[in-house]
Structure 1
Amino acid sequence: MPPESVPAEPSSPDLHSDPPSVIALFLAFARMSLSGFGGVLVFARRAIVDEHRWMTADEFNETFALCHFLPGPNIVNLSLVFGSRFRGIVGGVAAFAGLVGPPMLLVTALAAVYSHFGQVEALRRGLAGVSCAAIGLLVSAIIRMMAPLLKKRDGLGFVVTAAVFVAIGVWQLPLPAVLLVAVPISLAVTYAKIRWTS
């Protein structure tokens, strides 16, 4: 990825924009959810990090990583954690409502349409095309989330990431078993790096 394609990230919390209001949280997550057919992650990162600058890329990655260990869908967890961080429980509820409410209404309406026209061949081909676009968006989000690792030249981070990908994606090992091994290793590597640089 060429350097000019990676937006400059704020280097400290002082460079963030003002904390979002409850209404801003609801509207931001509603916009993400309505934009994110096939996955909201790419739109969430773009809005939180690039547009509003409510978090740095590192903070977003760390928060999203935490959300993997909470029960429930990752992006839903992200909305609750993110909203609560800025506006407490009310902010978490507002972000969650923005993420879930509008798509729920839209999908309910689409389900009624699909029940009548789901066997139309043109519609089925269109849905197949949408799924390909969703995969492209997910790959794009992964590449952008790797940007902090690229900037830090974190070789050990890449090794751990690649090992987890191979274990889950190629060898089809169970996710809990892989995490039980990978998480302690990641924590130990990070702790050793902090001790080495301090």
Structure 2
Amino acid sequence: MDEPACLRPPNARALFTAFTLLSLQGFGGVLGVVHRELVERRRWMSESEFAGDWAMAQVLPGPNVCNLALMYGWRQFGWRGALAALAGLLCAPALLLIAVATLLVSVDQLAPVRGAIGGMAAVASGIVAGAGLRLARGLGTHPLGLCGAWGVAAAALAGLLAARLPLLWVVAAVGLPSCWLTWLRLRRAPPASAP
């Protein structure tokens, strides 16, 4: 199934605005919000583009969503786009964090506050799980095939959750071989015909 053509942000200011708005929606993590805003709502990225960029953002050092914002912004408008996307992602939440941290210093031992923080942790887990399921939709078009892609995902989860391996080891043991196998499959695939 072919993915619909993607739109392009009109300018770096639009990137700043979009990343500011999505950062203000991302309580407990912004992966689900970023996907919804960039892929579903604004149609600035396709499912496969988002999955590829998110995979790269995951293995690079630093915060995943910041890596994604930098890569996407750079591709759209060079250094201006990268700076606009990253600034949009960080400015408003940083100001909110300073305000909330200032408030929490005086009330963090109160039982209702501790209960609210615990409840937010559960919501954050659900947001991450939902985003993971949305990303899984793109596995059907992966060069390793659906079973191969799910096998790689299962091996990574087993390494992280069951064996409790450090992320770097899982990337080396599962990620690098799967990248190599994907590259081999792509080399063997016939070239795509021009539309």
Whether the TM-score (by the shorter chain) exceeds 0.5 is yes
Equivalent in the alignment of 1:181: 173
Say which SS state the counterpart of residue 8 (structure 2) adopts: coil
What code does the residue aligned with 1:140 have?
Answer: G
CA RMSD of aligned residues (A): 1.7
Larger mean CA deviation between 149-158 and 63-72 belongs to 149-158
Equivalent in the alignment of 2:25: 35
1:111-150 to 2 correspondence within 5 Å? 111-150=101-140
Equivalent in the alignment of 1:172: 164
| Counterparts of 2:74 and 2:111, CA distance in 1 | 45
Alpha-carbon displacement from aligned partner over 1:131-189 (angstroms, at most 9, x marks no partner):
11111111000000000114665110110110011011211012212211223321232
Say which SS state the counterpart of residue 154 (structure 1) adopts: helix
* Match 2:89 to one of 77, 95, 99: 99
| Counterparts of 2:90 and 2:22, CA distance in 1 | 10
Say which SS state the counterpart of residue 68 (structure 1) adopts: helix
| Counterparts of 1:20 and 1:125, CA distance in 2 | 43
Give the CA deviation at 1:127: 1.3
Say which SS state the counterpart of residue 24 (structure 2) adopts: helix
Say which SS state the counterpart of residue 72 (structure 1) adopts: coil
Question: How many pairs are equivalent?
Answer: 188
| Counterparts of 2:130 and 2:179, CA distance in 1 | 27
| Counterparts of 2:170 and 2:107, CA distance in 1 | 42
Q: Which runs of 5+ in 1 are unaligned?
A: 1-8
| Counterparts of 1:184 and 1:117, CA distance in 2 | 46
| Counterparts of 1:36 and 1:43, CA distance in 2 | 6
Equivalent in the alignment of 1:71: 61
What code does the residue aligned with 2:150 have?
Answer: F
Equivalent in the alignment of 1:160: 152
Equivalent in the alignment of 2:9: 19
Say which SS state the counterpart of residue 54 (structure 1) adopts: coil
Q: Which runs of 5+ in 2 are unaligned?
A: 191-195
Say which SS state the counterpart of residue 59 (structure 2) adopts: coil
| Counterparts of 2:186 and 2:82, CA distance in 1 | 32
Q: Against the structure 1 CA distance between its residues 32 and 10, is the aligned structure 2 distance closer, same or farther, given a 3 Å change threshold? A: farther
| Counterparts of 1:174 and 1:108, CA distance in 2 | 31
Give the CA deviation at 1:196: 4.5
What code does the residue aligned with 1:188 have?
Answer: W
Percent sequence identity is: 34
Alpha-carbon displacement from aligned partner over 1:76-95 (angstroms, at most 9, x marks no partner):
11111111110110111111
Alpha-carbon displacement from aligned partner over 1:85-118 (angstroms, at most 9, x marks no partner):
1011011111111111000000101111111111
| Counterparts of 2:2 and 2:72, CA distance in 1 | 18
Question: TM-score scaled to structure 2, two decimals?
Answer: 0.90
| Counterparts of 2:54 and 2:171, CA distance in 1 | 15
